[in-house]
Amino acid sequence: MFNIVQVTMKGIFRDRIFQSIMALGGLFFFVPSVASLSMRQVSELSITLCLSIISFILLLLSVFLGATSLWKDIDRRYTFSVLSLPVSRSYYLLGRFLGLALFLILTSILLGGMACVVIKISSTLYQSPAGQPLVWWYIVVAIIFSTLQYILIIAVAFLFSSVSTSFFLPVFGTICVYFASSVTQQVYEFVKSPAAVKMVAPVAKFGAIVVYYIMPNLAGFDLKVNAIYSVSPDIKGLLITLLYFFVYTSILLGGAAFLFGRREMK
């Protein structure tokens, strides 16, 4: 499995994806100038912009790398060479997933370091009297859980890729799941509220609740508000979210391995 992880990492660097990340990382240079436009909330705006840039880059990587990894291997017939060795399909799929997850973690560390430098520069050059105190630990925790969120999205992409013969279903399916999962918590809270009794039909309410429990819930991974306004996150909530990540990702990978193991290779 280690060899598959290593080959996955080498393939990513060979495709010059790292250089593309560095190019997108150039957006950080504009953060101090844009944040200076906010006279009283420079630090808050800097944190918001930096975390948004990190989320945007990680989303692109998780969707397109996760959705095209298996497809490219099968299209280039690399999969047939690997599976001819004493390696099971489950180990192969898990190795590819771990390779992508490791690359996402390394990217997050790099972008997080750049973000911390930019936030420090912005808060030093443009000190605002009404600004909140910077709590670096909250920013780090927000970046960590954002990374876990997109690793989970990679698992979603692998589930689609395990049954798809092209990259269209994994790419667009993963994008749809991401946007739907970002609002399931709000929809669930609305249909459970007293105001929804007269506004939402029972069938629609039941359907929304079913979708809420099936789709991944990404609301717990979003800690931007805590980082921006220096609000201490709930430790119990973080532990529950961490447990949810491992359980849900394991279920997705288990389903992907089951389907991939029964897929016909032509």
Q: Which of 115-119, 126-130, 152-156 has the lowest mean pLDDT?
A: 126-130
Q: For residue 204, what pLDDT is reported? A: 81
Q: Supply 70's token pair.
A: 């298996």
Average pLDDT, rounded, for the chain: 83
Residue 128: pLDDT band by 50, 70, 90 thresholds?
low
Answer whether residue 231 shows pLDDT above 80.
yes
Answer whether residue 125 shows pLDDT above 80.
no
Answer whether residue 36 shows pLDDT above 90.
no
Other C-beta atoms lying within 10 Å of the C-beta of residue 214: 9
Render 82-143 in DSSP notation, one character per residue.
Answer: HHTSS--HHHHHHHHHHHHHHHHHHHHHHHHHHHHHHHHHHHHHS--TTPPPP-HHHHHHHH
Nearest C-alpha neighbor of 112 from the set 136, 140, 138, 133: 140
User: What's the CA gap between 132 and 40, in Å, rounded?
Assistant: 10
Q: For residue 221, what pLDDT is reported? A: 93
Answer whether residue 133 shows pLDDT above 80.
no
Answer whether residue 105 shows pLDDT above 70.
yes
